[in-house]
Amino acid sequence: MESRNCPNCGAPNEPHLNKCPYCGTSYFDLTSIDIADGKPIFLKIKVGDKIITQLVRPDPDISIKCNVESQDIMVPNGLFTRIYTGISCTTDIQFHGILDEHNRIYTIEEGERKWVQVDPRNV
């Protein structure tokens, strides 16, 4: 697998890792998926003690919304000036669940327990 660099410190690491082995920065590398081609992929997510697995089709319409925060202040000569106090961005990526070859829309696992949601029209 091709070596990549940490987005924080620039140290080499592997895309399958979720944390830089040098500086400890957590990251999630999606570069192995071509979202634009729309091909289904299996998505596996950990939420607390639960693991959710779902076959999904990525939505190629990704949006990044940024918000710049500023404050207007009066300086000693009586004029107003604006200082920028921060910037934040939200990245929206959507995955749409589809049925897998076993007619499942998702599977949830928690330890030895397992829940499966199938398409009720085909049961």
Query: Are 5 and 26 within one domain?
Result: yes
Query: Are 16 and 49 within one domain?
Result: no
Q: What are phi and psi of 115, to 5 degrees?
A: -115, 140
Query: Are 4 and 53 within one domain?
Result: no
Say what the pLDDT of residue 14 is: 67
Query: Are 61 and 13 within one domain?
Result: no
Helix ranges (H only) for 42-90 are none
Query: Are 27 and 40 within one domain?
Result: no
User: Coil, helix or strand for 35?
Assistant: helix
Token couple for 34: 């071509």
Q: How many CB atoms lie within 10 A of CB 35?
A: 17
Q: How many domains does the chain have?
A: 2
Query: Are 25 and 69 within one domain?
Result: no
Q: Give the domain extent around 11.
A: 1-32
- Are the C-beta atoms of residues 96 and 56 closer than 8 Å to each other? yes
Query: Are 28 and 50 within one domain?
Result: no
Q: Note the pLDDT tens digit of each residue in 66-123.
A: 999 998 888 888 888 888 889 999 999 999 999 998 888 899 999 888 888 877 676 5
Rg (CA), the chain: 22
